[in-house]
Amino acid sequence: MDISSYEKYISKETMMGPNSVRILEELLGRHPLRFTADDLILDLGCGTGLTSLVIAKETGAKVYADDLWVSAEENGQRFAQWGVGGQVMPICEDANNLHFEKEQFNALISIDSYHYFAGREGFFQEKILPFVKDGGVVLIGIPGLKDEYTGRAEELLTDWLGDDAYLFKSPTRWKELIGRHERMESVQTWEMDCFGKAWSEWFATNHKFACDDRQYFETIIKPYTCFVGIDVTLKS
C-alpha cells in the first residue's frame, strides 16, 4: 500500500483524529487482504468514509461503510465524488445492533472506533464474530494505553479525556476482552508503530480538535498512550 496515493483525500474535512489511513496502512501491511469484487468487507465505524475508500481500492472487495455519527447520505455523496459509489455502500447502524446475514463478510475492519462500543468481555463473540465467514479476518486499530500502565487510564488520562478516559485499554487487556471462541484460530494485539506519524499528520491539519489534543501530547498522549493493533484470524 502506498499511502501517497491517497494524499488528496486525506484532509481537515475527512480526518476525525490521528490519520486513520496511516493506521490502516500498518494493519494491511501486517495482514494483506486480496479479494474479488464478489467478496464483502465491513468497515465498522468508518467516520467520513476515508478508510472505506482505501479498503476498497487496496482489497478489490465491496465495502459496507458503517458509521453511527456520520449519515449514510453524507458518506454516499462523498463516495460518488470519489468514484467508488458502486463499490462502497454507506450505512448508518449501531454496532450493538447490526442487521446483516450471518457470516456475510470476508473481513471486518475498524479504525479508531472499536473502543467506543466494544470494551466488555463477550462483545466480540456476540456482536462481531457472527457476521464474519470461516477463514475470515478482523483487523482493528484503536487508541489505547501502553501495557505498563494497564488499569491506570482514569488516573493518567482524565485531564485530557475527561469521563472518556476509561475507554483506553492496553494491548494485553484488549486481548483479554477479545477472548476466545471455537471459531477463532488466533488473536494478536500489539502497540502499533504508526503512532508518531498518525498524530503528526493530525496536528498538521490545524483542526480545532487537533489543536486541543496538541496541548496534551508531550505530557499525556506521548508518554502514556499508544495505538493498539488487533488481528483476529478465524479458522477455515
Q: What is the pLDDT of residue 108?
A: 98
Tell me the C-alpha to C-alpha distance, in Å, between residue 202 and each of 1, 68, 214: 20, 22, 9
Residue 69 and residue 222: Cα distance in Å, rounded?
27
Q: Looking at domain 3-234, which CATH architecture does it have?
A: 3-Layer(aba) Sandwich (3.40)
Whole-number pLDDT of residue 72: 97
Give pLDDT, residue 29.
97
DSSP the chain: --GGGGTTT-STTT-SSS-HHHHHHHHHHHS-----TT-EEEEET-TTTHHHHHHHHHH-SEEEEE-SSS-HHHHHHHHHHTT-TTTEEEE---TTS----TT-EEEEEEES-HHHH--STTHIIIIIGGGEEEEEEEEEEEEEE-GGGTT-HHHHHHHHHGGGGGG---HHHHHHHH---TTEEEEEEEE-TTHHHHHHHHHTTT-HHHHHHHHHIIIIIHHHEEEEEEEEEE--
Give residue 77's pLDDT: 98
The whole-model pTM stands at 0.97
Distance CA 58, CA 106 (A): 15
CB atoms within 10 A of CB 83: 10
Per-residue pLDDT of the chain (236 residues; tens, 9 = 90+): 999 999 999 999 999 999 999 999 999 999 999 999 999 999 999 999 999 999 999 999 999 999 999 999 999 999 999 999 999 999 999 999 999 999 999 999 999 999 999 999 999 999 999 999 999 999 999 999 999 999 999 999 999 999 999 999 999 999 999 999 999 999 999 999 999 999 999 999 999 999 999 999 999 999 999 999 999 999 99
- pLDDT for residue 6: 97
Give the total residue count for the chain.
Answer: 236
Contact criterion met (CB below 8 Å) for 132 and 107: yes
Please give the grid coordinates belonging to residue 151. Answer: 488499569
> What pLDDT, on a 0 to 100 scale, did the predictor assign at position 114?
98
179: left (phi over 0), alpha (psi -120 to 50) or beta: left
